[in-house]
Structure 1
Amino acid sequence: MRLFVTGGAGYIGSVVAAKLLQAGHDVTVFDNLSTGHRELVPKAARFIQGDLLDRAAVQAAVGAGFDAVLHFAAKSLVGESAQKPSLYFGENVGGAVNLVDAMREAQVPSIVFSSTAAVYGEPEVVPIPEDAPPRPVNAYGASKLAIDQLLSFSGAAHGLKAVSLRYFNVGGAFGYQGERHTIETHVIPRILTAAQQDESFDVYGTDYPTPDGTAVRDYVHVADLADAHLLALLDMAERGTIGQHRIYNLGNGEGFSVRQVLEVARQVTQKAIPANERPRRAGDPVRLVASSEKVRRELGWNPERSDLASIISDAWSFMTKGRA
């Protein structure tokens, strides 16, 4: 298939692009490089530097003719979204509108969208099922939910086939592709940075109602996550119903506590990584874990590297050696 990958110079998008190429697909990456890195784009992929807010550029790029789109490009810092909600709605939703319009004009039938479990906000049921009511508590999650809704309405209006994949924390690395964020907010790379620099790590909240007192979160290996995108793409090509929008959560189903992550990081790095116990941060939920029963059942997704040791080992190898 001829595939158009937005945000393919970013962490997850670049890994998916590499996996698509390995599977024999023709890949074009579209990225404005505002947070992505040109060197992460696989060498066998075509690259177009462009911005989704540039309507003419998007129309020209998509108009070249593609079988499907995989959409990763987005602003994604939760804290920043709280301070700049208009930026997140303007860029994330505005860019998606331009992309969907260009797809309609070029008659591109399918899209796999990188959504987020942040659309659920504070869940009532954990692990979170796909039918949990979406109640985002920040502009980032709300902007992603708006795009999910755009895809549903676009399916009803002009037959767009869409799959949204919602996930929490992604970790690990795939070859020379790993996390390289200018502003790093994710737990695993922050712990590994502390290990690399022989510093301590701040643990926020040690009195949660969990087995070890620290908050529990979902972690999925980036290579397993990429496999889910390929399965969704192939499923739409083989049996996807025109106008149907399907939503799947991607998670490990169990969750890992901050102390568990820290302990495995100590074992992997052979570093002490002292912990500084800090008070809870306002708004931090006790446990956020996404159920993956539906995607396993319907798409046959079977994550193979989403245990903590594999995730952290690959991330550490990338950080210290430049590749997993």
Structure 2
Amino acid sequence: MRFVVTGGMGFFGSILCDHLLSRGHDVLSVDLLADTTSTRRYKNVQLDLRNLDALKSTLNEFGKESRIDAIFHVAALLAHVTADPNELWAANVDGTKNVMECARQLSIPKVVFTSTNCVFSTGFPEPVNEQTATHPIEIYGKSKLAAEEIIRTYTDISSVIIRCPTIIAAGRLGLLTILFDFVREGRRLYVVGDGSNRYSFISADDLADACLLAAQSVQSGLYNIGSDNVPSMRQLYSSLMEYAGKKPRIVCIPEAPTVIALKILNRLGLSPLGPYHYRMLAANFVFDTTKIKTEIQWRPTKTNTEILCSAYQYYIDNLESINSATNVSAHHSKAKAGILNLLRMIS
């Protein structure tokens, strides 16, 4: 089959491209970022999804040899990458509209879109299903929900929307590097509340498998995804410390004053943790994945603990190159810890 991946230079996009290639499919990546390596097995065309003419021309050329079977739309601009909300909205919303318009004009029959759990603003005591009411509180979640709504208006195109929790695999960096530096140095780790809350992750490899299954399926609609048997955050942190060969030192801190402090620090530009992050630190958020398992026959293969330990090991093994990397996506680079560096030093 012949596929286009938007955001193929990013963390998940590059994993998805490799996943498709390994199964014998033809792949083209389109991304705002240039390909700075010489080892990729797939072609990347550098372009801005907001440029409809450029996108249509590129996809039309790729489809001349054989029809494009599906577009995997995984490109997105993150809130901690740009301070301009208008730029983020244009990239995530207008870019999605252009992807759908190209699919319509070029008769591409399927679009698979990776959305996010940031379309919610609170935790839930029970697993979250596809009917749970959305209520994003920050620009990124609002833009992804708006993109979902745009996709649904293209009723002539078969589309699958997959709402993802945090996507993790070896090579996932971003905000996780703040946690990994605490672990690497054997510092105390902090859980907000009593640490009994559970939070879904998804392995990037498992998500790539789900995307391909969705593209090949006759099904369309909205699906939640996530790992099975989600441990508490306290259990997860303890397991990570033990994996790293460190003595687990988990400290519980009260929820209300912590959230207030993080809110103030974020507004002052001193903390990278935005509204979604600090509101969810003590919350339960686990996706109900019954629908995707039943209709698309997908199954997760990795647990939260396995996923996080794999990402940590990659970070340790590649720390020197990570520290010197430039012109890479947000999830391929270290996040700026801000005042959390001070917390690490005294922990």
Distance 1:204 1:264 in 2: 14
Distance 1:261 1:38 in 2: 35
Show the 5 A alignment for 1:207-226.
207=194, 213-226=195-208
Per the alignment, in what secondary structure is the counterpart of residue 33 of structure 2? Answer: coil
Distance 1:120 1:266 in 2: 30
Per the alignment, in what secondary structure is the counterpart of residue 256 of structure 1? Answer: coil
- Residue 191 of structure 1 contacts residue 201 of structure 1 at CA under 8 Å; is this kept in 2? no
Q: CA deviation at 1:123?
A: 5.3
Distance 1:206 1:122 in 2: 15
Distance 2:224 2:78 in 1: 18
Q: Which residue is 2:264 aligned to?
A: none
* Counterpart residue identity of residue 170, structure 1: I
Q: CA deviation at 1:204?
A: 4.8
Distance 2:229 2:76 in 1: 28
Q: Which residue is 2:159 aligned to?
A: 162
* Structure 1 gap ranges (5+): 208-212
Change (3 A) 1:234 1:94: same
- Give 1:267's match in structure 2, choosing from 218, 236, 242: 242
Q: Which residue is 1:88 aligned to?
A: 88
Q: Which residue is 2:317 aligned to?
A: 321
Show the 5 A alignment for 1:1-324.
1-33=1-33, 38-39=36-37, 43-64=40-61, 65=63, 66-77=68-79, 84-122=84-122, 126-155=126-155, 159-173=156-170, 178-180=171-173, 184-186=174-176, 189-196=177-184, 198=185, 200=187, 203-207=190-194, 213-235=195-217, 239-240=218-219, 245-272=220-247, 274-275=249-250, 277-280=252-255, 281-282=259-260, 283-284=279-280, 286-308=283-305, 310-322=306-318
Change (3 A) 1:202 1:268: closer
Change (3 A) 1:74 1:307: closer
When the two structures are superposed, what TM-score results if normalisation uses the length of structure 2? 0.76
Distance 1:153 1:319 in 2: 41
* Counterpart residue identity of residue 315, structure 1: A
- Residue 17 of structure 1 contacts residue 42 of structure 1 at CA under 8 Å; is this kept in 2? no
Change (3 A) 1:275 1:307: closer
- Residue 187 of structure 2 contacts residue 249 of structure 2 at CA under 8 Å; is this kept in 1? yes
Distance 1:125 1:247 in 2: 21
- Residue 254 of structure 1 contacts residue 289 of structure 1 at CA under 8 Å; is this kept in 2? no
- Residue 72 of structure 2 contacts residue 111 of structure 2 at CA under 8 Å; is this kept in 1? yes
Distance 2:6 2:52 in 1: 14
Q: CA deviation at 1:202?
A: 5.0
Q: CA deviation at 1:275?
A: 4.5
Q: CA deviation at 1:69?
A: 0.3
> What are the superposed Cα offsets for residues 131-155 of structure 1, whole Å, 9 maximum, x if unpaired?
1122222221111111111111112
- Residue 216 of structure 1 contacts residue 257 of structure 1 at CA under 8 Å; is this kept in 2? yes
Per the alignment, in what secondary structure is the counterpart of residue 154 of structure 2? Answer: helix
- Residue 5 of structure 1 contacts residue 72 of structure 1 at CA under 8 Å; is this kept in 2? yes
Q: Percent identity?
A: 26
* Counterpart residue identity of residue 175, structure 2: T
- Residue 214 of structure 1 contacts residue 259 of structure 1 at CA under 8 Å; is this kept in 2? yes
Q: CA deviation at 1:322?
A: 4.4
When the two structures are superposed, what TM-score results if normalisation uses the length of structure 1? 0.81
* Counterpart residue identity of residue 74, structure 1: A
- Residue 203 of structure 2 contacts residue 227 of structure 2 at CA under 8 Å; is this kept in 1? no
269-278 or 100-109, larger mean C-alpha shift? 269-278
* Counterpart residue identity of residue 256, structure 1: P
Change (3 A) 1:7 1:152: same
1-10 or 274-283, larger mean C-alpha shift? 274-283
Distance 2:95 2:302 in 1: 32
Q: Which residue is 1:210 aligned to?
A: none
Q: CA deviation at 1:111?
A: 0.6
* Structure 2 gap ranges (5+): 261-278, 320-347
Aligned-CA RMSD value: 2.5
Distance 2:16 2:60 in 1: 22
